[in-house]
Structure 1
Amino acid sequence: MNRRQFLQLALAAPAAAIIGTKVAAMARHYPLEQLVLTLKRLPANKLSSSGIWNVSEIFQHLAQSVRYSRLGYPLANSTLFQYTAGSLAFNAFAAAGTMQHPLDEAIPGAPALVNAVPADVALAELIHELELFISWQGDLTPHFAYGNLTKQQYYSAHYLHIQNHLEQISLS
């Protein structure tokens, strides 16, 4: 392999990896409606959290995230971040079918979570926000980290985000 071929390959390989990840991410289907049915069956007052946030705070955080996809996030990362690292992270999560992020990290600029809200009230709020999102026909707002997402991409983001947080919740 000569120098020119090596440079072409060195430039093409990352682009191919990025495109491949995006194609894989778009090919996956995330059944948000099925997740809503699962959430409706949870016995909210019999759940416990293994994390820093209690069950109610987790559900409040998830409801905020879903709500902000319709109404706008309070703060956002830079456009440069959203179109580079944020977009790459989203596509990697969606392609892998799993998300890993700090589970006690609040949404930038979001109101503080209230630990005294009963878990069943917070869960009802999350379910309501998901049902509003699923039936939403209007424009969606850019995600604070991932930037502009289609509704299908938001399905992925919400599904993976909720699943990641549910890893901390168990029957007590």
Structure 2
Amino acid sequence: MNRRHFIKTAVLTPFAILAGVNVVAAARHYPLQQLQRELQLLPTDKLSSQGSWSVSEILQHLAQSIRYSRLGYPQAKSALFQHTAGSAAFIAFAAAGQMSHPLDAPIPGAPRLIQTVSNEVAMAELLNEIEQFIAWHGELAPHFAYGQLNKEQYYSAHYLHIQNHLQQISLS
């Protein structure tokens, strides 16, 4: 292999990999409506959390995240972060079919989660936010970390975010 070919391959390979991951991420379908139906069937009075947040706090957090995708996040990471690490993280999560993030990290600038809210009320709030998001035809707000997402990308982000947090919830 000559030097020119080696340099060209070395420069283009990361872009080819990123393009491939982007294609995989875009091809995956995340059925938010199906997840919504599954959430409706959960017996809220029999749920427990293995994390530092209660079930109610987890559900409130998920509702906040979905609400902010429509109405705007209180604080955002820098544009540089959103266009580099944030965007790359979203693409990697969507391509992998799973998200991994600190499960007790609040949304920057969001109001504190209310410990006294019942699981039933918090679940109703989450289901309402999912319903409003699905029906939403307006412009979507940039995600605080991932930047500008279209509706299909937000479907992915919300689905993966909910699934990630559901790992902490079990039937008691």
Identity between Structure 1 and Structure 2 (%) = 66
Q: In the alignment, which residue of structure 1 is the partner of 2:81?
A: 81
Is the partner of 1:143 in helix, strand or coil? Answer: coil
Is the partner of 2:48 in helix, strand or coil? Answer: strand
Q: In the alignment, which residue of structure 2 is the partner of 1:2?
A: 2
**Coordinate RMSD, CA, aligned:** 0.5
Q: In the alignment, which residue of structure 2 is the partner of 1:115?
A: 115
1:23-62 → structure 2 map (5 Å cutoff): 23-62=23-62
Q: Distance in 2 between matches of 1:113 and 1:7?
A: 52
Q: Distance in 2 between matches of 1:115 and 1:169?
A: 16
Superposition deviation, residue 4 in structure 1: 1.3
Q: Distance in 2 between matches of 1:86 and 1:167?
A: 23
Aligned residue pair count:
172
After the TM superposition, list the runs of 4 or more consecutive aligned residues in structure 1 that deviate by more than 2 angstroms: none
Q: What is the letter of the counterpart of residue 96 of structure 1?
A: A
Please state if 1:92 is matched with 2:92: yes
Q: Distance in 2 between matches of 1:111 and 1:54?
A: 16
Superposition deviation, residue 7 in structure 1: 1.1
Superposition deviation, residue 92 in structure 1: 0.4
Is the partner of 1:170 in helix, strand or coil? Answer: strand
Q: What is the letter of the counterpart of residue 119 of structure 2?
A: A
Q: Distance in 2 between matches of 1:104 and 1:96?
A: 22
Q: In the alignment, which residue of structure 2 is the partner of 1:127?
A: 127
